[in-house]
Structure 1
Amino acid sequence: MALFQKLPTMNAEERRTVQRYSVDCEAKLKMLGGDRDGRLSDLSEAGARFETDNPPQEGVSGLLAWRGHEYFGKVVWANEKSCGLVFERPIPHKIVAETCEVVEVQAGPVANFGNIPVAKRGRRASLVSSQD
């Protein structure tokens, strides 16, 4: 009888129990050590991805605020430009859906097909046509 059995490893996708949604809106992470301004890039009932220039370290707790909503969570991972938070309690699906409905998109010029250069026939195309 083994007291300590190695459990099969699961990837992050298998561990998630709720659907994540891509979002793009301004947000703020309020912490005892100081606030961080940034953007939400994905959101679920269980947590969020917060993008900022100076993400807090793993283990830090704070209040994530966006569009009039505030939810307490803990940073469970961090890299150079973003961090992942798990909410203390699941947030209502209505809030997730409401946040997903309004995606801030920066307007930019639409591609003009007249400005796209036409590819020149390559060497291979020249060889094929000369053999014909």
Structure 2
Amino acid sequence: MRTLMLIAMLGLAGCGTLGSLSSGDSGPFRGGFRGASNEVDGVRFRTRVSATSEDARSFATATRSAGRSLSGALEAGRVRAVEYCITRFGGSDIDWALGPDRPVEEVALDESGALVLTGRCITR
């Protein structure tokens, strides 16, 4: 049994999966949602997620330095929101108020240059 577990772990370590599950800012098991970063189209974005309601289903994401790539920032915010909903509520269904599906021409940044998305996790 130990041999089988060792083989499985070596296989995961070899493809990089084991490291991405257990460490780094962007892994799904990093312990929180504040200040996570991910890369979209070669640009690294730092995105914060915070609950905006008492039950934590409503949330807002803020992706800093979004002017570097608006389409990339939209995707980074979407990814972080989906991770938040999956981890907190077990599914990826989101009712977007200000969502990533807006045309890039309609995207406005806040005074700090961050792209803000808002929505509500509707799973469970």
**TM-score between the two structures when normalised by the length of structure 2:** 0.32
Greater strand share, 1 or 2?
Answer: 1
Normalised by the size of structure 1, how large is the TM-score? 0.30
Q: Which has the larger radius of gyration?
A: 1
